[in-house]
Each structure stands twice: as C-alpha cells, then as structure tokens.
Amino acid sequence: MEYLECLKYSPSKYFRHSKLKALINVNDIIMKQKKVIVIGGGISGMESSTYLTSMGYDVVLIEQKDKLGGKLLKWEKLFPTMSMGKDVVNFLNKGIDLAQVKVELNAKIINAVKEGNIFKINLDDGRVFESDAVLVTTGYDVFDARKKEEYGYGIYDNVITSAELEEKFLSGNDILTNSGKVPKKVGFVHCVGSRDEKVGNVYCSKVCCVTAVKQAIEIKEKIPGVDAYCFYMDLRMFGMHFEALYKQAQEKWAVNFIRGRLSEACENMDGSIMVKVEDTLAGKPLRMNVDLLVLMVGIVPSVGTKTIGKMMGLNFGPNGFFKSLDQHSMTTVSNVPGVFFAGCCVAPRTINNVFVDARAAALMTSSYLEGYDIEKRIQEK
C-alpha cells in the first residue's frame, strides 16, 4: 500500500522501481504513466530521451532521418581530446538501448499543437502521438558558404567547408585537391557566416576557432610536409584545454596563424586559390596561394527549428534560435508551458555543453510533469 500511495502522487518516479515490478501489476496503477515526445535525434535528443525514459516516463523520440546521431555521425575526431566521434555515438546508442527508448525514424512532423494540457504531434504517415510534455532538440544547420561569394565556395573547385573536410577525414581516403594532387599548402578561414553583419549573423558560433585548430593539426598529421595557415579575426579559445591545443598546433605542428580577415579569394590557372588578406599584426596586405582553402562555417538555426517553432508558437530570439524564458536561470524553458529546449536549437554549443543541456532539460521536463512550477519564481518586472 505504501508503494501505491507513492504512485498516486508521482507515478512516473516509481514506475520503474524493481520492487514495484515484483509487487504491483501495471494495470493496478491508479494514474497512467506520463508521456513525453522528444523532437530531434541528435546528441541532445538521444541523451534527454535516455534520461527521461530511465526516470519512468513514456518517451517517444522522433527523428526525421533514417538513423540517430545527427551531425556527430559526420565527424571523425573531436576537440580538444582528439577522441573519436563514433565513440560518443556508441555511448549515446547504448543509452537508448539500455533505457529501451521508443524511437520513430524517417518521421516527418506535419503539425504540432497543444490542446488543453495535451500535445498532439501529427506525422506525414497519418499517425498522431499525444504527450503531456514536449522536448524540442532540433539542432542546427551549418552556414551556407555560398552566401560569401567573395570566398568562391561553389565557384572554385578547391574551396571547401570545414564540414566537408571532416567528412573527408572520416572516409579514410587521402586528402587531395580536386585534380587529385596532394596539397602542399592548406588555408583555413575562420568566422565564415559568424560575427558578420553582412550576412545577418552577428553572434560567435563558439566552435569554429577550435575546429580550425583541430583540423589544421589533422592536416599536418595526414599530409607530411604540408603547410597549414589559419586566417582569423580573434582566436576564441574559451574552453578547458582549448588553449593547450592551440599552443600544441603552434609548437608541435608549426601551424601558421595570421590575424586578419580574408577579403577575397580567386582561382589561379592551375586550380590553386589566391587569397587576399590584411595581416593586421604586420600592418600590411598579404597575398598567398594555397592548394586547398577550407571555410570554417558557423552554426545557424536549423530548418526544423524554424518549422517546429512556428507550429507550436514558440518564441524566437533576434538571431533566429529559440528564445528561452530566461537566459540565466531557465535556458531550457520555452514560452509555452510544457515545451522545453535542449542543445543547439537555443544557441551554438560544444558537445560537452550539449550533454549538460540535455540532462538539465530532462530534469526540467520531469519537474514540470511532477507539478513543480518554476515560473512562480520569476518576479514580475
């Protein structure tokens, strides 16, 4: 009877308790198990689903693609440890399997509404899922480098993005120019689509600088004798061990760092790329030919973020990401009661930040379902 009394007031908390399974028939539970829908199967969606299911909630994780993992599936090594991205994917998948999370793949959401206290999510195959809460983890897209025409992406064959270079690393194939030659000089351009008023993205994408450092080291590892050049405005090595990685790039791998924003890139007759940059430390203009130019593309709000946000009436911030109810104390809480956020749909984040955010969002969702109203703590202004 003691367990039954607990179930009356917090059934989700006790539903998975091993002693309860032995003593109580599920059909005897007075209140039904509360349901959560998680939208987006990247890092934050997978981790928050694992936690919420383990807490005892009936969770459905909806992903529009044919597998879980998001953009992490396309990354070989991760900064600053150089550990393998596949190891993190395996960790996430293990959590999903152990918790027995219900997963819906190839599932496109065509409508998402709140009716009373219940959320209804309609899929394109006609199915409808209902829940007591929704956790939105729609991730990010990378900046479309074609919008920076002066850099030549989509025009010149040997101008690629950081995401494309990472896929080349992951493939295990040799890093070659478009004509099949081993590059002797590789340039990395920081802040492409970030901190740029012309393209409408004034924010820092947080990961580009350290990604450039990581990829420059990898290029040096994979192509003996290659020269690597990083063209940057400022180096924002904010994270733990990021500065050490930058120092290693200089001292061990002889990566060249040139402070100055690239003004133009053009193609030479041999397919190499001539870059024009103002070296602000030397105080003079610089021209240089590189065989491969890598654009460090920033993080932008995903198409899914925009679509789901409009369907559910969620507020957007000035940069197009979801707007939290409070940027200090309630970063995972939306303007719609029962809807929560996690990951890069709110702002650019590193992988370790995303893990922390996903676990925090799971706890916040659980608190809501158990009747704790954090909004009461907000003082009216």
Tell me: the pLDDT tens digits for 279-322? 888 778 899 999 999 999 999 999 999 999 999 999 999 999 99
Q: What is the mean pLDDT of the chain?
A: 91
For CATH 3.50.50.60, the residue range(s) in the chain are 34-139+302-377, 145-299
CB burial of 139-166 (b: ≥16 within 10 Å; e: otherwise) equals bbbbbebebbeebbbeebebbbbbbbbb
From first CA to last CA, the distance across the chain in angstroms is 46
User: What φ, ψ does residue 163 adopt, rounded to 5°?
Assistant: -65, -40
Give the C-alpha distances (Å, rounded to integers) separating 211 from 120, 215, 298.
39, 6, 11
Q: What is the pLDDT of residue 282?
A: 77
- What is the C-alpha to C-alpha distance for residues 212 and 37, in angstroms, rounded to an integer? 36
Q: What is the pLDDT of residue 9?
A: 41
Per-residue pLDDT at 189 exceeds 60: yes
Per CATH, which fold does 145-299 belong to? FAD/NAD(P)-binding domain (3.50.50)
User: What φ, ψ does residue 166 adopt, rounded to 5°?
Assistant: -65, -35
Q: What tokens does 201 get?
A: 């993205």
- What is the C-alpha to C-alpha distance for residues 137 and 132, in angstroms, rounded to an integer? 17
Q: 34-139+302-377 sits in which CATH class?
A: alpha beta
Per-residue pLDDT at 3 exceeds 70: no
Handedness of CA 47, 51, 53, 54 (dihedral sign): positive
Beta pairing, strands 83-84 & 77-78: antiparallel
In degrees, rounded to 5, the angle at the alpha carbon of residue 168 between the alpha carbons of residues 246 and 141 is 75
Q: What is the mean pLDDT of residues 65-90?
A: 95
Q: How does residue 7 score in pLDDT terms, banded at 50, 70 and 90?
A: very low
- What is the C-alpha to C-alpha distance for residues 219 and 213, in angstroms, rounded to an integer? 10
Per-residue pLDDT at 77 exceeds 90: yes
The count of C-alpha atoms lying within 13 angstroms of the C-alpha of 332, restricted to the half-sphere facing its C-beta, is 28
- What is the C-alpha to C-alpha distance for residues 345 and 100, in angstroms, rounded to an integer? 25
H-state helical runs in 256-331:
303-312
- Contact between 40 and 121 under an 8 Å Cβ cutoff? The reply is no
